[in-house]
């Protein structure tokens, strides 16, 4: 209830700010500043036409698909980096450097290689999140208590048993946090990819609002992007993370 009250106050303050600045003192033009009433009107319009639902579904499908591919690639790279000292010294700095690139930097490559297609968006998602996941995997393994490794070795554990029975379970809490961070990178990369292509999605709906000079539609899409991200974090990643922590007596 507290958060609902806070959001209600925030919306009322926003509407009052719009009313004072646009209707009373005319500091800004109506088309330059979004209002809660205008955003709500666009929400109803796009919902009735089915545009908003189609955009959300398409974006989620692309985002989840690209994210799972990025998870597989990221885990493989992370395991290789953590297992081989040569890659730890030489490949990891490159991975760290590439991770600092904004996702939009990959858009020209994706368009040149795949054209204005869904594959171009998937490429941007993968490149935008796979390296973050790889770094998280490596850090999760490195932060395991050394006593666990030593105890397993003294008990005669082989490499397969070391990974399946010791390394993976011990690194799971930090690994889930890394996967959650990877999803945030993937979701942002998805928007960068959709903005630059013609595929129907939240990013393209945002650009349509810009082209139509409809600031309320632009604001609506931004709100939807944030809400979808919060819902996925709250009902998927946070649930998994809390269960793991409770199982280990850490929460």
Mean pLDDT of 210-230: 89
| Residue bearing the bigger pLDDT, 73 or 115 | 73
Question: From CA 47, how far away is CA 203, in angstroms rounded?
Answer: 16
Q: Round to whole Å and give the CA distance between 129 and 25.
A: 45
Q: Left, alpha or beta for 10 (phi > 0: left; psi -120 to 50: alpha)?
A: alpha
Report the pLDDT averaged over residues 162-168: 80
**What is the pLDDT, as a whole number, of residue 1?**
61
Mean of all residue pLDDT scores within the chain: 85
Q: Mean pLDDT, to the nearest integer, of 65-77?
A: 95
- Give me the mean pLDDT over the 204-213 stretch: 85
Task: Give 45-88 as a DSSP string.
Answer: HHHHHTHHHHHHHHHHHHHHHHHHHHHHHHHHHHHHHHH-HHHH
Per-residue pLDDT, 251: 58
Split at pLDDT 50, 70, 90, the class of 127 is very high
Rounded to whole angstroms, how far apart are CA atoms 126 and 130? 5
Q: pLDDT category, 69, cuts 50, 70, 90?
A: very high
pLDDT category, 249, cuts 50, 70, 90?
low
Contact status, residue 184 vs residue 229, Cβ threshold 8 Å: yes
CA 236 – CA 184 distance, rounded (Å):
13
- Per-residue pLDDT at 210: 85
Angle CA(35)–CA(38)–CA(43) in degrees, nearest 5? 125
Residue 233: per-residue pLDDT = 86
pLDDT at 245: 76
Predicted confidence at residue 20, as pLDDT, reads: 81
pLDDT digits (tens, 9 = 90+) for 19-43: 887 777 777 777 778 888 888 889 9
- Kindly indicate the confidence band of residue 66, based on its pLDDT and cuts at 50, 70 and 90: very high
Q: Work out the percent of the chain whose per-residue pLDDT is above 70.
A: 97
Q: Are 203 and 191 in contact (CB under 8 A)?
A: yes
Average pLDDT over residues 73-94: 91
């Amino acid at each position: 209830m507290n958060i609902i009250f806070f959001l209600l106050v925030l919306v009322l303050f926003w509407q009052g700010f719009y009313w004072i600045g646009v209707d009373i003192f005319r500091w800004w033009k109506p088309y330059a500043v979004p209002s809660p009433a205008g955003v709500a009107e666009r929400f109803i319009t796009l919902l009735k036409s089915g545009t908003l639902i189609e955009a959300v579904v398409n974006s989620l499908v692309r985002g989840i698909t690209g994210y799972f591919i990025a998870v597989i690639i990221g885990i493989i790279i992370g395991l290789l980096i953590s297992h081989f000292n040569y890659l730890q010294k030489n490949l990891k700095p490159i991975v760290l450097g590439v991770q600092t690139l904004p996702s939009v930097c990959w858009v020209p490559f994706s368009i040149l290689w795949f054209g204005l297609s869904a594959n171009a968006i998937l490429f941007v998602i993968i490149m935008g999140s796979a390296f973050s996941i790889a770094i998280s995997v490596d850090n999760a393994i490195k932060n395991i208590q050394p006593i666990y490794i030593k105890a397993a070795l003294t008990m005669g554990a082989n490499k397969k048993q070391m990974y399946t029975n010791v390394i993976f379970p011990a690194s799971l809490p930090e690994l889930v946090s890394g996967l959650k961070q990877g999803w945030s990178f993937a979701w942002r990369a998805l928007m960068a990819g959709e903005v630059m292509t013609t595929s129907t999605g939240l990013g393209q709906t945002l650009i349509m609002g810009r082209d139509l000079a409809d600031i309320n539609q632009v604001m609506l899409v931004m709100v939807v992007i944030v809400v979808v991200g919060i819902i996925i974090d709250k009902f998927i990643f946070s649930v998994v993370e809390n269960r793991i922590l409770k199982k280990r007596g850490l929460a």
